[in-house]
Amino acid sequence: MNGSPADSVGAMGVSVIIAAHRAHDTIARAVNSLLAQSWPHWQAVIVSDDGTDYRPTLTAAGIDDPRLTFTGTGRIGAGAPAARNAGLAAATLPLIAPLDADDRFQPARLATLAPLAWARGAAFDNVAVVRDEDDSPLSILFPETDGVVEFDAAAFLATSVPMFPLVRRALCPGWEEDVNFCDDVVFNVQTLDRSGPVPLVRTPLYEYRQRAGSITFSADSGARADGCYRHVLDRLAGDGLRIADPDLRARFAAAVEAKRARNAAYTAAFQAGRCANFQEFLTLNES
């Protein structure tokens, strides 16, 4: 790239897309995690999917920053993929990063991942799962170590915790609005199909919060997951789900079938009262 190093750093700005549905009790925490970033080159695109205005909630929390952008889906409950696509349309910076409205970034996340994503097209990091009610750590996706390793679609398909990469806008596939449960999985496979292997930072810089009342706690979560998996399999067999690599499509289909089997085991455990949510099920089965 041409220009000074300062120009290059400024060019690596990150549009952080926050889909907000009934998120007034958590949105300030998510946005505060951006305000705490050591990397100042970001904007937050807050997308209302519940017909409410999130500005007063943030103002009441003492948050007023010119890097905040507000938009909406124009609907109520359109779903996270539709909200994120609305955010993507409003985003103005060259790197894209989703942030769930009840999660948060660690302070060094953007400074660590933005240069890697800019250089390689995308970058992932480790994920810490935390129980929201008492801040208890539940699990870490990968054993925590320093350093960066290569990460590809095969490695991603072996995971069981949501991951949230930074992606260059030119490679960002957008979100499938007809995939309403496992949309993050599809997004990440599509991203890795476009980018090839990318860096994975082994430090957990994304905090994934498990909350009572979330979709993974609902009594019908197992059925919803299975419906999503069946729909993804139908898309893969039909239009290929916008995945260009046929080998990756086949590996993805096999991984989805494995996820269906694991989801059936989770549903049985949930109904028997042995676990309260999917991440707890995974923790119990890893112990």
Q: What is the pLDDT along the chain (287 residues), one digit of tens a residue?
A: 344 444 456 679 999 999 999 999 999 999 999 999 999 999 999 999 999 999 999 999 999 999 999 999 999 999 999 999 999 999 999 999 999 999 999 999 999 999 999 999 999 999 999 999 999 999 999 999 999 999 999 999 999 899 999 999 999 999 999 998 899 999 999 999 999 999 999 999 999 999 875 555 555 778 888 999 999 999 999 999 999 999 999 999 999 999 898 888 877 877 788 877 666 776 666 65
**In whole angstroms, what is the distance from residue 155 CA to residue 157 CA?**
6
pLDDT at residue 270, rounded to an integer: 77
Bin 123: left if φ > 0, else alpha if -120 < ψ < 50, else beta: beta
Helix (H) or strand (E) holding 55: helix 55-60
Domain 5-215 has CATH 3.90.550.10: yes
**In whole angstroms, what is the distance from residue 158 CA to residue 277 CA?**
19
pLDDT at residue 282, rounded to an integer: 66
**In whole angstroms, what is the distance from residue 83 CA to residue 101 CA?**
12
pLDDT at residue 211, rounded to an integer: 80
pLDDT at residue 124, rounded to an integer: 98
pLDDT at residue 213, rounded to an integer: 55
pTM above 0.85, yes or no: yes
**In whole angstroms, what is the distance from residue 11 CA to residue 4 CA?**
11
Buried b (16+ CB within 10 A) or exposed e, 243-271: bebeebbebbeebbeebbebbeebbebbe
For the chain, the structural domain boundaries read 5-215, 216-286
pLDDT at residue 96, rounded to an integer: 98
CA atoms within 13 A on the CB side of 193: 22
pLDDT at residue 267, rounded to an integer: 79
